[in-house]
Chain A
Amino acid sequence: MCPLSMCAPGERVVIQRIAGGWGVRRRMVDMGFYPGERLVVVNSSGGPVIVDVKGTRVGIGRNMASKIFVTIER
């Protein structure tokens, strides 16, 4: 398990845990992020992490991305 901010572009990951208060997690769920959801890291070059979630591109600030813990699939 590692923070999303450490994943490389092209990697397929599964969300394991989102750190933060109820409000933060709620907000993430509304945007489609919850444990068990699969993401593809599209871009991550030191700036925001851009992921593919449910077919759309969502940018996640580096700070938030370091609080999303994922496992890398293969």
Chain B
Amino acid sequence: MTTNRIIALAGNPNSGKTTIFNALTGSNQRVGNWPGVTVEKKEGVLRLEGMDYTVVDLPGTYGLSARSIDERVARDFLVRNRPSLVAVILDASNLERNMYLALQIMELGVSNVILVFNMMDVARSRGLDIDVKAMGIFLGLPIIPTIGNRREGIEDLKRVISLYMRGRGDGNDDKLIRKAPFKYRQELEDAIRQVGAMIPKDLAKKYPARWVAIRLMEDDGEYRHIVEGLASGKEILSKVESLRQHIEGILGYDVETAMAEMRYGYINGVVREFVKKKPSVADRLSMSDRIDTVVTNKYLGLPIFFLIMWIAFMLTFDLGGLFSTYIDSFFTFLGNITAVHMRPEWLASFVTDGVIGGVGAVLVFLPNIFMLFLMLSILEESGYMARGAFVMDRLMHAMGLHGKSFIPLVLGFGCNVPAIMATRTLENRKDRIITILVNPLMSCSARLPVYVLFAGALFRAHQGTVIFSIYLLGVILAILLARIFKSMFFKGETTPLVMELPPYHIPEAKGVFLSAWQRSGLFVRKAGTIIFAAVILVWLMASLPAGVGYGSEHSLIGRLGSIMAPVLSPAGFGYWQAAVALFFGILAKEVVVGTLGTLYHTTGSGLSAVIATHFTPLSGYAFMVMTLVYIPCIATIAVIKRETNSWAWAGFAVAYSLVLGWSLAVMIFQVGRMFV
């Protein structure tokens, strides 16, 4: 075993791994990317008895078969960096599944392994009584029970880590005899040993020989490929083939199945031996099942899904709008003071028109955005999101997408940047690229201020419905384009949709609010940085050259806008202000509102009034559609480039959205004009 100061945390998705990571490292964290891929890599420092250790949070995976980027990253890290200790975090209420990964990591055999049985409270509430101590002795490794979100057991975990890292075992050396390490049946073990002995030394330095032998017996293409390149490659592979046939002859079925069966069989035995099930509480599960009967029903599923979404949107706008009014009156009040009392005049203009007008116009929408993120957190936490993926699967499949694509798409309502990152869970590259390409059509929270402003000014009575229609249009476009892109660029099979469905539970108020708060904090920071900078630029360009009327057609910005405006006039908003707003909106979509605020030097209700004089409901709607579709913001373009690893796809995303946005806006205005 190796000696370095690296501790890796491994575990299934939903095992509470991140909570444990946070509890161990506190604020000493660094977020980066895994080399070569864009999976987020979290590292932290754990200080124990004067020693600093590096804790690495591996991506959540179900196995180590390197089928998805996440699994490959996890396996490669374990193999290449050989951490001294791997702490496998398991959901104690679901050991039978979670142990599979633990077993594979033990099988890999490059590090010391300890098990952390997390969510012990959930296990207990399900009537599970786990004999942690006896199980640890049986497996020959320490098991630390924890309740991550209450920090219970964390000190024990730290103590065990410290002992291990100092090379003192788990402090119970007399018990460290492996009682029953996992073994395959005899014929297989013999075969693995024979193949393992044939693995040349330099490959065994990279991957443990036993591991390679196991994977070869399982017919893993990746390892076959590695071995093929060796001098003795042919010989090894033909040996593997004859052994496989020999064993299949004995068993009567294929080796992969047999090996999976033996692993699960072993796990099943261990769990049956050390976990007692009290028959009492299956209630929560059966309750969950009853909800699922309705929620995932063939006919009811989709209507329920849309109803839930609609309610979430209504709450976002109506409840959020209530608070927006207060923020609006605050900025109006502030603007009145600075305009009247601040001198010299250019400074008053800068503060009133530029800063308050621009940034204020954006911050007014903070309550809406907070509510939106709150709704998304509730959907995620309650367990409905995973069901949504299934309800949408049929629709998604009809449109050539994978059900799992639904989650990144919904996250896109919050912000396209993390949403595009979330496509990493898709195993198939073409599903991934299509989901990335259409993601900007999922209207992110930054575009919301534009809709709220225009719908509020032009469709007062029906603003909720109008905004909902814009979102719906985005979804429909996304689905149609996914279909088109698929037939244009990618054809062929899709990957299977198999997802764990965690039982429903009522989200914890604290967690949900915290998450919504952190995410909308990002919005405030954006208002303070990129939006602020853009707004200053707009103000400067609106004030220069010296002597022109502020924000007049003769100012720099007016000239710029006048050049672009004619292109937009077929869409009904050929004003230079609209052109400028859309132009700067590429920096960040909130800037559209910020720019209008700066140019018309007013915020909130004042801005609404100005909008109502410049736009008709029809041209306003065309403008909203344009805002929905045209060019993703800079951050999104950058993340598309990063995730697809290609400027061509990023460029394509920009090009198609611009063409589509403009065409739709023109079409809506021109067709609409015949009726209005």
Chain A residues closer than 8 Å to B495, beta-carbon distance: 24, 27
B-contact bits for A27-48, CB 8 A (1 contact / 0 none): 1111111111100001101111
Given A22-B219, A22-B221, A57-B289, also A30-B296 (CB < 8 A): no
Contact between B97 and A61 (Cβ–Cβ < 8 Å)?
Answer: no
A18's closest neighbor in chain B, by CB?
Answer: B257
8 Å CB contacts to A: which residues of B255-306?
256-257, 260-261, 264, 268, 285, 288-289, 292-293, 296-299, 301
B261 and A60 contact, CB distance less than 8 A: no
Does A58 interact with chain B (Cβ within 8 Å)? yes
Q: What CA separation (Å) do A36 and B301 show in the bound complex?
A: 32
Chain A residue contacts of B387, Cβ below 8 A? 59
Contact of B498 among A31, A36, A37 (CB under 8 A): A31
Q: Which of B285, B288, B297, B496 contacts A64 (CB 8 A)?
A: B496
Number of A residues near B (Cβ < 8 Å) is: 38
Report the bound CA distance from A34 to B522 in whole Å: 44
With A42-B292, A47-B391, A48-B393 known to touch, is A56 a contact of B497 (CB < 8 Å)? no
- Residues of chain B within 8 A (CB-CB) of A23 are 67, 427
Which residues of B have CB within 8 Å of A55? 94, 96-97
- B496 with A58: CB separation less than 8 A: no
State whether the Cβ of B100 lies closer than 8 Å to any Cβ in chain A: yes
Whether the pair B296, A59 counts as a contact (CB closer than 8 A) is yes
B174 at the interface (CB under 8 A from A): no
Distance in angstroms from A12 CB to nearest chain B CB is 15
For B391, list chain A residues within 8 Å (CB).
47
Q: Is there an interface contact between A45 and B393, defined as CB atoms closer than 8 Å?
A: no
A7 to chain B, nearest CB (A): 15
B499 at the interface (CB under 8 A from A): yes
Classify chain B's interface size.
Answer: 35 or more
Task: Decide if the interface of chain A is mainly helix, strand, loop or mixed.
Answer: mixed
* B456-504, CB < 8 A from A: 494-503
- Nearest residue (CB) in A for B65 is A26
Contact of A50 among B62, B261, B292, B298 (CB under 8 A): B292
The chain A residue with its CB closest to the CB of B301 is A47
Question: Is B430 located at the chain interface by the 8 A CB criterion?
Answer: no
Bound CA span A37–B97, Å: 13
A35 to B252, CA, bound (A): 13
CA distance A50 to B501 in the complex (A): 8
Whether B403 and A57, one on each chain, are in contact in the complex, defined by CB atoms closer than 8 angstroms, is: no
**Distance, CA A50 to CA B264, complexed state (A):** 21
- A62 cross-chain contacts in B, Cβ below 8 A: 393-394
Checking B65, B293, B500 against A43 with a beta-carbon cut-off of 8 angstroms, the contacting residue is B293
* Contacting residues, chain B, for A22 (C-beta < 8 A): 219-221
- CA of A25 to CA of B89 in the docked complex: distance in angstroms? 25
- Contacting residue for B390 out of A26, A35, A48, CB 8 A: A48
List residues of chain B with CB within 8 A of the CB of A29: 63, 256, 260
Q: Is the CB of B100 within 8 A of A32?
A: yes
Residue of B nearest to A32 (CB): B97
Cβ contacts under 8 Å, B96 to chain A: 32, 54-55
Most buried by B among A22, A36, A48, A60: A48
Please measure, in the bound complex, the distance between the C-alpha atom of A48 and the C-alpha atom of B402, giving whole angstroms. 13
Nearest to B396 among chain A residues (CB) is A61
Q: Which residue of B has the minimal Cβ distance to A57?
A: B501
Q: Which residues of A contact B220 (CB under 8 A)?
A: 22, 26
CA distance A64 to B288 in the complex (A): 23
**Cβ of A48 to closest chain B Cβ, rounded Å:** 4
- Say yes or no for B253: interface residue by CB 8 A criterion: yes
Query: Is B74 located at the chain interface by the 8 A CB criterion?
Result: no
State in angstroms the CA–CA spacing of A67 and B495 once bound together: 12
Closest to A34 in B: B260
Q: A20-B496, A63-B497, A64-B496 are in contact. Are A32 and B221 (CB under 8 A)?
A: no
Q: Is the CB of B390 within 8 A of A63?
A: no
Q: Which residues of A contact B434 (CB under 8 A)?
A: none
- Also in contact, A47 and B97, with CB within 8 A (given A60-B496, A67-B496): no
Residues of B that sit less than 8 Å from A by CB: 62-63, 65, 67, 94, 96-97, 100, 219-221, 253, 256-257, 260-261, 264, 268, 285, 288-289, 292-293, 296-299, 301, 386-387, 389-391, 393-394, 397, 403, 427, 494-503
Give A contacts to B, CB under 8 Å. Answer: 9, 20, 22-37, 42-43, 45-48, 50, 53-64, 67
List 18 other contacts, CB 8 Å, given A32-B100, A35-B253, A56-B97. Answer: A26-B220, A27-B498, A29-B63, A29-B260, A30-B100, A32-B97, A33-B498, A35-B261, A43-B293, A43-B296, A45-B296, A46-B298, A48-B390, A48-B393, A54-B94, A57-B289, A59-B500, A60-B498
